[in-house]
């Protein structure tokens, strides 16, 4: 694509995002994405036009609210290629989705002697729930590690599986290394081994096409806020046969069929897992986010993000004193560049970048086992989305090159 | 945009060329202080005779603020009584969490350059690490 054409595309996209102005270079989309106007407005539209408690009112407004909520569910179903809306459960975020699987599936199915296999690169949200399950059930947590390039090879994966492995928890894209794990392959091998496969899609669903039936995962968790949607709405996809045999996660309103003094029967899927008044406005906002992504086009999103990642990787690579973690090939980074600047603590790097409006994340990125594996206690991470520009990356690298001097190092 | 004016010459000098970052063979007090979320980690050692801090040193790693703050703290503490040290720790703590008088600021000498940290809540614990460890150690 020609530079001029790209500039026009930049402008066309960025005018949709009120917060993306000249004042900041927002390079923290792996933490949360910026929101287009249509998503920001959606929650107001819901509360102005459709607000009623969904799923139980017998008056027209409540029916409207229910329709918006269920249309959002259908939109999510189609977006990830699920077989049925019964398999789409709205939660608060990926963390809650993963806890739901851990508590309603893991706690009830896993036994002493069973093994849970997690990858070393899991976000704490796809690790700590499994540690809890292990501690309660007597099952053991085992790790599959990545190589120096951040790759989990088939060989490593097969070697980590044992006949006792009953559950595999793995992220599709690492929030630190940016690498894409071959979930379809690993899910197939896990199934041959008699294990269920739980995928964390928090970093993948916002950036690449994800089809749960093609991947054949048993569960997939992701957050709305990382894919242009509002905070406080997330999704759990689960295969119907598994969801049906699982007990509810939270008990209370809107998830029951019949309650007596001594017991209850529970609602059908997916409502069995959606206790209490739901975040219908958030779901409506998430639908608007998905529609916005579709309007931009997933191909355009991928093309722009691949181009920007390549551009940023090359610039960072030629910056003195910088070490980038993960693969040497920028195509394997999916918008995520985690690095160290020699002689500068990541928190100082982020603070100095912040003076020039450059927003990056510094710390352990909620993946401490991985950082221990990499031999560092903290790093700086720049993460990109399709709405970023080469100008923002230039500004980031330019300021980064002044950090050592600002910290008193002689050049 | 806020301005991180605390990355000044005094702070960077204490971070890159600390006076007190070394072992202390005849220390009689030793405590490790950690900020688990950022990985800041120091081991503070003091030699206290008749309630007077006659010598002190630290070792560790972390951000410029945590390391420089520990170094400037030792500049202040060495030669003072434990009580006096705790009084300075209280002034320092109030400085970065709230406000102090000009007279109090003067007492902190170079450590006063960290006053602006109060605008950056996430970094308060970095500046406090050395002082917090000192307090735990002598209280």
Q: List chain A domain ranges.
A: 3-30+297-406, 40-293
Alpha helical stretches, state H, chain B: 9-16, 64-77, 82-97, 102-107, 124-138
For A34, what's the count of Cα atoms within 13 Å in the CB-facing half-sphere? Answer: 23
Contact A354 B62 (CB under 8 A): no
Give the pLDDT of chain A (411 residues) as one tens digit per residue: 788 999 999 999 999 999 999 999 999 999 999 999 999 999 999 999 999 999 877 899 999 999 999 999 999 999 999 999 999 999 999 999 999 999 999 999 999 999 999 999 999 999 999 999 999 999 999 999 999 999 999 999 999 999 999 999 999 999 999 999 999 999 999 999 999 999 999 999 999 999 999 999 999 999 999 999 999 999 999 999 999 999 999 998 888 888 888 888 888 999 999 999 999 999 999 999 999 999 999 999 999 999 999 999 999 999 999 999 999 999 999 999 999 999 999 999 999 999 999 999 998 889 999 999 999 989 999 999 999 999 999 999 999 999 999 999 986
Which pair of structure tokens corresponds to residue A93? 């975020």
Tell whether B31 lies on the interface with A, counting CB pairs under 8 A. no
Which pair of structure tokens corresponds to residue A71? 């249309």
What's the gap in Å between the CA of A199 and the closest CA on chain B? 26
For B129, what's the count of Cα atoms within 13 Å in the CB-facing half-sphere? Answer: 32
Return the SS3 of A202: coil
Q: How far apart are the first and last CA of chain B?
A: 39
Does B2 map to a domain?
Answer: no
Cβ(A181)–Cβ(A190) under 8 Å?
A: no
CATH number for position B17: 3.90.1010.10
Architecture of domain A3-30+297-406: Alpha-Beta Complex (3.90)
Q: Fold identical between A3-30+297-406 and A40-293?
A: no
Print the domain residue range for B71: 9-138
CB neighbours of residue A382 within 10 Å: 28
CA separation for the pair A8, A11 (Å, rounded): 5
CB neighbours of residue B110 within 10 Å: 16
Which pair of structure tokens corresponds to residue A386? 């399709």
- For B37, the closest of A344, A348, A363 (CB atoms) is A363
pTM, two decimals, is 0.93
CATH class of the domain whose range is A40-293: alpha beta
Does B23 map to a domain?
Answer: yes
Does B4 map to a domain?
Answer: no
Cβ(B88)–Cβ(B80) under 8 Å?
A: yes
* Chain A CA closest to residue B119: A351
The domain tally of chain B equals 1
């Amino acid at each position: 694509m020609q530079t001029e054409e790209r500039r026009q595309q930049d402008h066309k996209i960025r005018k949709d995002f009120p917060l993306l102005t000249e004042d900041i270079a927002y390079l923290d989309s792996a933490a949360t994405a910026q929101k287009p106007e249509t998503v920001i407005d959606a929650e107001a539209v819901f509360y102005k036009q459709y607000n009623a408690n969904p799923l139980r009112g017998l008056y027209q407004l409540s029916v409207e609210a229910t329709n918006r909520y269920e249309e959002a569910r259908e939109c999510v179903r189609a977006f990830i290629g699920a077989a049925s809306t019964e398999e789409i459960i709205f939660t608060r975020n990926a963390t809650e989705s993963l806890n739901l699987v851990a508590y309603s599936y893991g706690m009830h199915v896993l036994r002493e002697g069973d093994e849970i296999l997690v990858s070393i690169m899991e976000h704490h949200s796809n690790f700590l729930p499994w540690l809890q399950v292990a501690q309660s059930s007597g099952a053991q947590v085992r790790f599959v590690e990545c190589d120096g390039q951040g790759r989990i090879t088939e060989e490593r994966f097969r070697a980590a599986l044992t006949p006792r492995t009953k559950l595999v928890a793995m992220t599709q894209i690492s929030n630190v290394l940016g690498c894409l794990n071959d979930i379809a392959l690993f899910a197939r091998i896990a199934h041959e081994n008699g294990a269920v496969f739980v995928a964390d899609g928090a970093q993948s669903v916002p950036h690449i096409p994800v089809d749960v039936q093609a991947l054949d995962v048993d569960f997939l968790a992701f957050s709305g806020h990382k894919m242009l949607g509002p905070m406080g709405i997330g999704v759990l996809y689960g295969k119907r046969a598994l969801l049906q045999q699982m007990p509810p996660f939270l008990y209370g309103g809107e998830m029951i069929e019949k309650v007596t003094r001594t017991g209850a029967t529970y609602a059908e899927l997916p409502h069995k897992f959606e206790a209490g008044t739901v975040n219908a406005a958030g779901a409506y906002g998430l639908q608007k986010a998905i529609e916005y992504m579709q309007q931009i086009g997933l191909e355009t999103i991928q093309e722009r993000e691949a181009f920007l990642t390549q551009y940023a990787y090359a610039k960072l690579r030629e910056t003195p004193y910088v070490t980038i973690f993960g693969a040497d090939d920028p195509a394997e980074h999916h918008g995520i560049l985690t690095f160290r600047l020699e002689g500068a603590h990541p928190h100082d790097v982020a603070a100095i970048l912040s003076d020039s409006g450059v927003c990056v994340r510094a710390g352990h990125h909620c993946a401490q086992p991985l950082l221990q594996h990499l031999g560092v206690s903290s790093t700086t991470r720049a993460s990109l989305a399709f709405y970023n520009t080469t100008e923002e990356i230039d500004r980031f690298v330019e300021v980064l090159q002044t950090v050592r001097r600002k910290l008193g190092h002689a050049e | 945009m806020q301005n991180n004016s605390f990355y000044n010459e005094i702070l960077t000098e204490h971070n890159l060329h600390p006076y007190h970052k070394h072992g202390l063979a005849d220390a009689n007090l030793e405590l490790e202080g950690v900020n688990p979320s950022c990985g800041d980690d120091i081991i503070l050692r003091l030699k206290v005779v008749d309630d007077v801090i006659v010598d002190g040193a630290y070792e560790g790693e972390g951000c410029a603020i945590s390391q420089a703050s520990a170094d400037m703290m030792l500049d202040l503490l060495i030669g003072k009584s434990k009580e006096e040290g705790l009084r300075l720790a209280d002034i320092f703590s109030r400085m970065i969490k709230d406000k102090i008088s000009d007279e109090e600021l003067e007492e902190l000498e170079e450590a006063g350059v960290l006053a602006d940290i109060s605008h950056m809540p996430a970094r308060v614990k970095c500046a406090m690490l050395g002082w917090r460890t000192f307090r735990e150690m002598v209280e």
